[in-house]
């Protein structure tokens, strides 16, 4: 399982301004959220620092927020407390979720913000998707966002250094991504992320983490969703765009 222990502390510097505000993050899913009944039961199964979960709770939904990282779950619980949002938090790997939560009870499961590539290859990815499918009621939907890995792989191994300082909580940081692209799709890839905070007094604080990644093609994901009983309903996939969203319905 990927760490995210060090990154959890400084995760704000990695996400866009739009995702920082819980209500705005939830609003980015308005298209699918309008399909939900009031008081819907929703799960964010890779909740990160919790902005989406808290935003969904702010709309009156019954929210469970889960993540494999203890540090991320802690941050989600803190954010929920800060907003007075009733969010149940669970520390669980995708495959462990059915041990913690009742099957076929969720109206919607979110796996967003480029999380699924952390599943260790096709077999683990299908197992993760199967877990998500088991938790959904019939007619419930999985909402998944993904990087366009076809593009990421085509660019090859490289270093991305942010061309401007990212300011969060009054502190500036330089963000560096080191992409280590393996020869084959099936191989373990690596993404090293470093956040260097530079304070006005000249002090520098670096936090970094080496994450493992197993990218997948959009076509593969489509096929894997069908294998676990989820029918892809919409997809924004565009081979030229950086990210896409897939919505799949439990049959
Ligand atoms: C890129 S972050 C996205 C977080 C959040 N969804 C967002 O949009 O900001 C990926 C998240 O997936 C979680 N994760 C990685 N592997 C996981 C697994 N096997 N089961 C559950 N969560 C996992 C990480 O701990 C991390 O919080």
- What count of other Cβ atoms lies within 10 Å of the Cβ of residue 238? 12
- pLDDT score, position 208: 95
Sorted by where each begins, the domain ranges of the chain are 5-149+215-250, 151-213
Structure tokens that stand for 211 in this block: 């994450």
φ, ψ for residue 87, nearest 5 deg = -120, 125
Q: Which residue's alpha carbon is nearest to atom 19 within ligand 1?
A: 93
The two beta strands, 158-161 and 171-180, are antiparallel
Structure tokens that stand for 5 in this block: 């222990």
**CA angle (6, 181, 225) in 5-degree steps:** 85
- State the average pLDDT over residues 157-182: 94
**Which atom from ligand 1 is nearest to the alpha carbon of 44?**
6
- pLDDT score, position 51: 98
The answer to pTM > 0.85 is yes
Which has the closest alpha carbon to 132: 102, 107, 109, 116?
109
Q: Which residue's alpha carbon is nearest to atom 17 within ligand 1?
A: 68
Which class is 5-149+215-250 in CATH? alpha beta
> Residue 26: enclosing H or E segment and its boundaries?
helix 22-27
Query: 164: CA distance to ligand 1 center in Å?
Result: 26
Ligand 1 lining (C-beta closer than 6 Å): 1-2, 4, 15, 46-48, 67-69, 72, 93-94, 112-115, 118-119
Counting ligand 1 atoms within 8 A of each CB, the residue from 56, 109, 118, 168 with the most, and so the one to mutate, is: 118
**Which atom from ligand 1 is nearest to the alpha carbon of 72?**
27
- Mean pLDDT, the chain, whole residue set: 96
**Which atom from ligand 1 is nearest to the alpha carbon of 124?**
19
Query: 203: CA distance to ligand 1 center in Å?
Result: 30
Location of structure tokens 């076929």: 104
pLDDT digits (tens, 9 = 90+) for 172-183: 999 999 999 999
pLDDT digits (tens, 9 = 90+) for 85-113: 999 999 999 999 999 999 999 999 999 99
DSSP state of 100: H
Query: 115: CA distance to ligand 1 center in Å?
Result: 5
pLDDT digits (tens, 9 = 90+) for 192-246: 999 999 888 889 999 999 999 999 999 999 999 999 999 999 999 999 999 999 9
Q: Which residue's alpha carbon is nearest to atom 13 within ligand 1?
A: 46
pLDDT digits (tens, 9 = 90+) for 62-79: 999 999 999 999 999 999
CATH number of 151-213: 2.20.25
Structure tokens that stand for 16 in this block: 């866009």
pLDDT at 146 over 80: yes
pLDDT digits (tens, 9 = 90+) for 6-64: 899 999 999 998 899 999 999 999 999 999 998 999 999 999 999 999 999 999 999 99
Query: 31: CA distance to ligand 1 center in Å?
Result: 23
- Give how far Cα 131 sits from Cα of 45, 128, 201, 229, Å: 10, 5, 49, 11
- pLDDT score, position 156: 98
């Amino acid at each position: 399982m990927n760490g995210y222990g060090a990154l959890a502390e400084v995760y704000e510097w990695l996400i866009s301004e739009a995702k920082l505000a819980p209500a705005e993050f939830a609003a980015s899913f308005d298209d699918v959220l309008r399909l939900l009944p009031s008081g819907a039961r929703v799960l964010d199964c890779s909740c990160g620092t919790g902005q989406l979960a808290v935003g969904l709770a702010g709309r009156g939904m019954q929210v469970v927020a889960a993540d494999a990282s203890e540090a991320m779950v802690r941050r989600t619980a803190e954010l929920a407390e800060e907003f007075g949002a009733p969010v149940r938090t669970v520390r669980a790997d995708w495959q462990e979720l059915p041990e913690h939560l009742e099957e076929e009870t969720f109206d919607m499961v979110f796996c967003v913000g480029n999380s699924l590539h952390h599943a260790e290859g096709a077999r683990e990815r299908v197992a993760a998707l199967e877990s998500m499918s088991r938790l959904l009621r019939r007619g419930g939907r999985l909402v998944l966002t993904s990087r366009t890995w076809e593009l990421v792989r085509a660019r090859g191994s490289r270093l991305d250094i942010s061309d401007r300082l990212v300011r969060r909580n009054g502190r500036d940081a330089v963000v560096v991504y080191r992409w280590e692209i393996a020869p084959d799709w099936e191989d373990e890839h690596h993404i090293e992320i470093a956040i260097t905070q530079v304070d006005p007094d000249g002090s520098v604080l670096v936090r970094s983490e080496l994450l493992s990644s197993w990218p997948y093609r959009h076509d593969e994901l489509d096929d894997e969703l069908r294998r676990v009983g989820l029918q892809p309903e919409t997809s924004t996939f565009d081979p030229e765009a950086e990210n896409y969203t897939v919505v799949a319905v439990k049959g």
